[in-house]
Amino acid sequence: MGLGRLIQLSCGRLKRKLCSWLVERIDTASYTIELNGSNLELSCNSFSYIMGVSDGGMPIQLEGDRSTVSVYLQKFSATSSGVNIKILSEILRNCRLADDEFKVIFMLFTLCTVLCPPIGVHISSSFLYSLINVDRIRQMNWATFCFNRLMQSIIRYKEDNLAYVGGCVLYLEFSVIVRPARGTPSGRGNHSYSDEEYNTGQNKCA
Reported as a pLDDT band with limits 50, 70 and 90, residue 143 is: very high
> Which pLDDT score, from 0 to 100, does residue 178 have?
64
What DSSP designation does 129 have?
G
pLDDT in tens, 182-196: 444 443 333 333 333
> Which pLDDT score, from 0 to 100, does residue 179 have?
57
pLDDT in tens, 93-114: 999 998 999 999 999 999 999 9
What percent of the chain has pLDDT above 90? 66
C-alpha distance from residue 84 to each of 54, 63, 115, 129, 142 (Å): 26, 19, 16, 17, 21
Highest-scoring range by mean pLDDT, 3-12, 34-43, 45-54, 122-131: 122-131
Taking Cα atoms as reference points, which of 47, 128, 135 lies closest to residue 83? Answer: 128
Reported as a pLDDT band with limits 50, 70 and 90, residue 83 is: very high
> Which pLDDT score, from 0 to 100, does residue 182 have?
42
Domain ranges of the chain: 1-6+13-56+141-206, 58-140
> Which pLDDT score, from 0 to 100, does residue 189 have?
36
Mean pLDDT of the chain, nearest integer: 84
CA 42 to chain centre: 14
- Strands annotated E in the chain: 26-27, 32-35, 38-41, 83-84, 122-123
> Which pLDDT score, from 0 to 100, does residue 52 have?
87
Min mean pLDDT across 4-18, 61-75, 142-156 is at 4-18
Reported as a pLDDT band with limits 50, 70 and 90, residue 36 is: confident
> Which pLDDT score, from 0 to 100, does residue 79 have?
96
Provide the b/e sequence for 37-64 (b: ≥16 CB within 10 Å).
eeebebbbbbbbbbbbbbbeeeebbeee
Calpha distance 185→206 (Å, rounded): 26
**What value does the mean pLDDT take over residues 63-74?**
96
> CB count, 10 Å around CB of 118?
20
> Which pLDDT score, from 0 to 100, does residue 34 have?
87
Reported as a pLDDT band with limits 50, 70 and 90, residue 54 is: confident
Asked if 5 and 52 count as a contact pair (C-beta separation under 8 A), the reply is yes
